[in-house]
A and B are shown apart, each in its own frame.
Chain A
Amino acid sequence: MRRRIKSLQLRLSIELAALFLVASCLAIGGLIYGASLTAGSLANRELGLRVEDLVSHVSLDQAGRPRLELPPGLRQAYDTAAQQSVFAILDKDGRLVEASTPELGAMIGRSPPADTEPSYFQLSHFGPLGQNYSGVGMRLDSAAGPLSLMVAQVSGGDQLVHSILREFVFDTAWYVPPFVALALLLATYSVRRSLRPLRTASAQATDIGPGSISIRLPEADVPTEALPLVIAVNRALDRLEQGFTIQRRFTANAAHELRTPLTIITARLDSLEGNGEVSALREEVARMNRLVEQLLCVARLDSVVLDVSAPVDLRQIAEEVVGSMAHLALASSRSIALTGAEHPVRITGNAEAIADALRNLVENALAHTRPETEVIVEVGSEGVLSVLDSGPGIPLNDRPRIFDRFWRGKGARSEGAGLGLAIVMEIVRAHGASIAVSDRTPCGARLDLRFRPA
């Protein structure tokens, strides 16, 4: 699998670096090629001059045959043992006029240059010394009639090229790497700068949450290329916000539509004289009230993401819940108590939802214990809310399922719809909290809601 580089900045930088590298290689290569061409033509020009020079020293002897008469200085130059420069001359009849080295004489005899245009050639491991030569062969007119010549020189022209290149590298080419580095630095900086509005937008995006869905990403200063994305994200947020609003309104309306008739039924039943049937009906309506409340709570939790970002005090929540449920406990001949931390226990969350969860746990505990027992709410200073009862406890087999919607234990009485603990679980999840079920000794269950510390 090919790994793709995700960072736009890194990608641009790498590609720019590659571009600069190729460009500078091309530039340097071009310069070197140009320099070597120049050096080559200089060498060819020198060979040409030698040819003319040699020809100018050819004259006819008394027998009317071409003869080479070199000035002593020049003769010495051609005759050195080093064989730096070699030549061979043929007359128009193919006879050798003179050759500074027999090998070249043999060569010109085999293939005499027949063209007046110079033809250049290379010789390797040539002559008695086995040196490399570059040379030229051509036919041209002289005072002694048409002649064919070959002149070759040890390939020392390379030295010229090398010296030119050395000069070029030292005088000119050194500034290419720093220039490339500087250009790269500038490019990186400008890429960084043009991406800054995107980083600002990202920072803004992290603030968007269920409680702050009206925040939009800033569209000003965003690069044109990224603007469509930012705009599209903002439009998507618009639609989400709209959806949220509709859902909220629906839940509120459903609550209203269900609750008003229930209130009327409750009140009507209250005014009927109580025989057995009526009190049974009252109990049913009370159950239905409770069920509607729980269904609304579930609907609310499903449709609206809880805002769990407010600072809350678990001790205060526990105090309110225990206080508000005390009459319920007393009415069912049970007692309720608050223990644990006496100081505020601060976490971040949603006070209303946590109170809902705790209320459900307490209701559950009250429903599953015998009269004359005590339900204890305990506040742990590390952000733990616990509900302890003295009931039969929760069987190990049931523990994974008690938080499922509409799940009810085997021995459960018919009051509950099995939504209470599901609601607790939703709220726990929304807070990133955890819930643990354990046994108490000698009997009873203990449920711990462990919240993340603020």
Chain B
Amino acid sequence: MNIERIKNELAQAWTVAVKDVRVYYLRPGMIMFGFLMPFFMFFSFSVRRELGAAEGLARLLAMTVFFTAGAAGPFIIPTERRIGTYDRLLAAPMALLTLLLGKTLVGAFFAIAVSGVALLAGLLFFHSTIIQPGLLVAGIILGAFSFSTLGLAFGSMPTTNPGDVQMPSTLLRWGLLFISGVFIPLNEMSPIARSIAYISPLTYAQDIMSHAVMGKGLINPWLDLTILLASGILFLWPSIKLHQRARVLGR
């Protein structure tokens, strides 16, 4: 692939992302699953618990990035398959990876924007401070990338009904919430539970937020960032396979 082609592919990914931002960000499905849910989840699990401002903000940021980034794929791709607009993208002269990159950006941008709202709320209402802003930015960006590709893997399932995808996707995300040190800190978990927590990418997102906001975490922050990046790349693989399968099935 030559430089010109790479430039074209990147521009096409950007075009897809910008179009999706304009078309889907204000859709009820995106607002419900991407914007409102993390706040509802946060408040329902935080009420009547004695949380410090910094700890609360770290938790809110991790949940926001996690839920919001993963909301786009399961909603947008089945919707586009149903109304036929996805064919336009699949038939366009670009690699499948380019299309997936564009779709990943949609979720990631959404997560970054909503995290900004959460951060602002935390700073204004909890009077928190950010100890390591650079780490926070890196954590939000890589977390948004990782969880967006996770959502994309669900969205790539060959179906035309968003509900078929959103249900299992939401179920998995809820499950991950409970094993990833968001509600029960890693250092309070049993060794078995902690070893399970290390499987979940959310654990590393929560840890990096703790580093950034509170200045302490259990895992090396560079390892957190590396795993978020690696898991984001890894989650693209099932998306590619599911797209190939959809082309065989004709869906």
Q: Do A and B come from one complex?
A: no
Binding site for B on A (CB under 8 A): none
Residues of B within 8 A of A (CB): none
